[in-house]
Chains A and B, each alone.
Chain A
Amino acid sequence: MATRKDERSKVEFLAESEDILDDLNQHLIQLEGTAGSGDVDPDIVNAIFRGVHSLKGLSGMMGYDGISSLSHRLESLLDALRMGRIGITKDVTSTIFSALNRVKELSEEISRSGSERSDSAEVSAQIDAVLAGGHAAEKKSIIDELAIDKALVAVLTEYEEHRLKENIKARNNIFLVKARFDLSTFDKDLTALNDRLKAMGEIISTLPSSGMSPDSGIEFNLMVGTRETGDRIKEEVEGPRVEVTEIGYRAEEKKAEAEAPTLRSLSKTVRVDISRLDRLMNIVGELVLSKTMIAQISKEMREVQGFTGLAVDLHKASRTLERKLGELQEGVIEVRMVPIGQIFTRLTQAVKKYAGDVGKDIELEALGEDTELDKLMVEDMSDPLMHLIRNSLDHGIEPAEERARRGKPAKGHIKLNAFPKGNRVVITVEDDGAGIDHEKLKRVAVEKGLVEKADNLTRREMLELIFMPGFSTSEKVSEVSGRGVGMDVVKRNVSKLSGMIDIETEIGKGTKFTITLPITLAIIKALIVDVSVETFAVPLSSVLESLMITKDKISTIEKREVITLRGETLPLVWLDRVFGLPKAEEGDFIYVVVVGLAERRLGLVVDRLIGQQEIVIKSIGDKLKGIPGIAGATELGDNEVVLVLDVESLIDEATQRRG
């Protein structure tokens, strides 16, 4: 047996331990980079473990007890780390660095004088301290949850078994990839296969076997843990000599949490400041612009050189980019979505209190709490909804005696509901109160000078009067209805969110307000149009259709220009006039973008339809905020800033100008 006095052994030891230390330091630096982020590569931890393990064995054989016992302690630390018994913190990584430095110093002493001189009490104590902070490994075997052949588990080392358990805990998909290779090239081929698999997940173990015909090749059974689907894995690696099978989970319902007690936080949520999400959203918006530009370039390239060479590559890459960006966008939007139930609860509390204040007995029902909306939109709806409910409380629900007289239950009933409809969300506030008296409406409107004559108004238009500033049918402004918060503010808030508000009412029965909102404001599809010298964006969610008509189709009814669209009258609005823009050259055709909802429709006359595009609506700042007809601004591809139309207010203005 080689003795420690053997010079050659000493030189070999020093050389190999220096190599190991270098690798360890590099790995440790990599590890430190990921500490605390929760996304640590288990292979790095394991590589460090194995390095220290080798160091220990080697120094032990050589009789260098100082390094050997220090390595032994360090190995315990690394083992605890790779088995998940302690977490990777700055404390841990700096302790490991100190220990490695100590080993280096001891090696230098051996090199200079042939033996170790100093002791490592301090570092050893440090390691012990870190180890003491860990917790016991779990006893329960989670592997039983997997429908896996025990024979496959039997060949796993303790560490590999731990990795399998971690994958099971994370509910990853477990696959067996069986690959056959030639004896002469298997290491190269297997490495290539490994690389492909590692890009998609973790290779838990690699089991070689001679298979059916030992002379012609060698077979490997790779156990892979991944979040990808079976189809994806098969797509990537399956072939004539590669077979993929999924190992399924036993239990039908996947258990949500691991059962062993753990020091890890049980909360699976993160609190995020909404401004960070806004920032993410902006970045995604800019990416969307870039993507559009790239798609454009790709298209032009194809036009120039046909579907050959780089044009093909660019096209493919552009498609992938588009797909992935779409996923990213959805992901970010999803992060911003919160259930509207968040404000429903607040509203319910407030209502109970106010009901008491006005002495009315109210039952408030809230449905559809799980319906999700962009967080900011949910917040912005809080006040308008509160006002609508207060309104019901004040004007809608009758005092108890009157309700009794009308044969209604003593408790007034107000119902809040929210549900998705296509790519919008509908919120309704409904009461079983007195309903709105049209005649009273008309009277008040005329009294307040809001309209000249009320006789020609349709039912709908009468109801719209409620939303006009300065309108209020109550003789006194009650404490509850508040000052400065009229229905007009409600409407303005709703239209700022590119939404619409509708009202249905029946005298004696009740009133229902319906608010329709796009699910998210952040990135929306818009129709880009040219009007005179300006370009505008019209939110696609408001667009019903676009038409090209000849000027002779326009008729004039009561000084308003309209066209007939499928039997219905559609009022037209010339956007250049609305915004005071110079009149453009007129051809024989005009383009009309029909916007609105149900009966409230309007035809916007524009000069050119440019196309559809996804845009990020940005606020236009306080100075420009109050401008009717404008919801915000956005940036198109070539740094061109265009204004985004506020369809709801345009429709308002058009209908109000009639009366």
Chain B
Amino acid sequence: MAKTVLIVEDSRAMRGLIRATVEQMPGFATVEAGSGFDALKTLPTHSFDLIITDINMPDINGLELISFVKGHPQYKDIPLIVVSTERSEEDKKRGLALGASGYIVKPFKGDELQELVKKVLGK
């Protein structure tokens, strides 16, 4: 069964890289959102199996997005992966505390992300 992944990241090139990495795995499809707002608009449009989100974004940040998702009756069961930098230890911790299922630190290698995705989805 195809898994649909929502990628929330404001850097276009970064988004592209994550997309390419995820789609390399068989049975995975992706949808992109360029900002927290975008994500909020995109969530109702698909049935997502996973959300990969950056933390530092302009309008609403990744932490707020996680809080929103986890507090929403419709989306609360969707697992989230936080993409953070080694600088923001705090932010990564908060993401996990808010209910993210895993995190990955930039810059990362493609297979690292793929491993994490598989782990989080329980495959």
Interface residues of A (CB under 8 A from B): 1-2, 9, 12-13, 16, 50, 53-54, 56-58, 60-61, 68, 75-76, 79, 154-160, 183, 186-187, 190, 205-210, 214, 218
Contacts and interface: CB of A to CB of B under 8 A. Distances in A.
Contacts of A58: 11, 13-14
Given A158-B91, A208-B68, 14 more contacts: A2-B17, A2-B21, A12-B12, A157-B56, A157-B61, A157-B90, A158-B88, A159-B56, A186-B40, A187-B37, A207-B67, A208-B36, A214-B72, A214-B73
Nearest to A72: B87
B24 interface: yes
Given A208-B65, A209-B71, A57 B106 contact: yes
B107 A157 contact: no
A409 to B, nearest CB: 71
A205 B91 CA distance: 14
B60 A208 contact: yes
A30 to B, nearest CB: 16
Contact of B13 (A12, A79, A157, A190): A12
A156 to B, nearest CB: 7
Given A16-B12, A57-B107, A75-B87, A155 B74 contact: no
Binding site of A, secondary structure by majority: helix, strand, loop or mixed? helix
Contacts of A218: 40
B97 A210 contact: no
Interface residues of B, number: 46
A58 B87 CA distance: 15
B64 A155 contact: yes
A79 B87 contact: yes
B109 interface: yes
Closest 4 CB pairs of A and B: A1-B110, A60-B107, A210-B72, A208-B68
A156 B41 CA distance: 22
Contacts of B71: 209-210
B52 interface: no
B94 interface: yes
B25 to A, nearest CB: 11
A184 to B, nearest CB: 9
B63 interface: yes
Interface of B: 10-14, 16-17, 20-21, 24, 36-37, 40-41, 44, 55-56, 58-68, 71-74, 85, 87-88, 90-91, 94, 97-98, 106-111
Contacts of B108: 61
Contact of A210 (B58, B65, B68): B68
A156 B63 contact: yes
A206 B111 contact: no
B61 A160 contact: yes
Max count, chain A CB within 10 A of own CB: residue among B90, B97, B111: B90
B40 A208 contact: yes
A517 B41 CA distance: 67
25 contacts: A1-B20, A2-B16, A9-B16, A12-B12, A12-B13, A16-B11, A54-B10, A57-B11, A57-B14, A61-B108, A76-B87, A154-B98, A155-B63, A155-B67, A157-B56, A157-B88, A158-B91, A183-B41, A187-B41, A205-B61, A206-B60, A207-B68, A208-B60, A209-B68, A214-B73
B97 A154 contact: yes
Given A54-B14, A214-B74, A2 B90 contact: no
Contacts of A158: 88, 90-91
Contacts of B55: 157
Nearest to A63: B107
Contacts of A68: 107
A57 B14 CA distance: 8
A209 B61 contact: no
Nearest to A76: B87
Contacts of A12: 12-13, 16
Contacts of A207: 60, 64, 67-68
B106 A60 contact: yes
A50 B56 CA distance: 7
Contacts of A60: 106-107
Nearest to A47: B58
Nearest to A207: B64
A79 B109 CA distance: 25
Given A158-B88, A208-B40, A61 B59 contact: no
B73 A210 contact: yes
Nearest to B41: A187
Contacts of A1: 17, 20-21, 24, 109-111
A155 B67 CA distance: 7
Nearest to A49: B56
B16 A208 contact: no
A205 B61 CA distance: 8
A350 B67 CA distance: 70
B98 A157 contact: no
A61 B20 contact: no
Nearest to B72: A210
Contacts of A9: 13, 16-17
A330 to B, nearest CB: 39
B35 to A, nearest CB: 9
A154 B60 CA distance: 14
Contacts of B37: 186-187, 190
Nearest to B16: A12
Contacts of B98: 154-155
B97 to A, nearest CB: 7
A583 B64 CA distance: 82
Nearest to B37: A187
Nearest to A159: B56
A187 B73 CA distance: 21
A16 B87 CA distance: 22
Contacts of A53: 56, 85
B72 to A, nearest CB: 4
Nearest to B108: A61
A37 B91 CA distance: 31
A157 B94 CA distance: 8
Contact of B44 (A56, A75, A183, A190): A183
Contacts of A16: 11-13
Max count, chain A CB within 10 A of own CB: residue among B11, B21, B40: B11
B15 to A, nearest CB: 10
A154 B94 contact: yes
Contacts of B44: 183
Contacts of B41: 183, 186-187
A79 B91 CA distance: 14
A218 B63 CA distance: 17
A214 B10 CA distance: 26
B60 A157 contact: no
Nearest to A203: B59
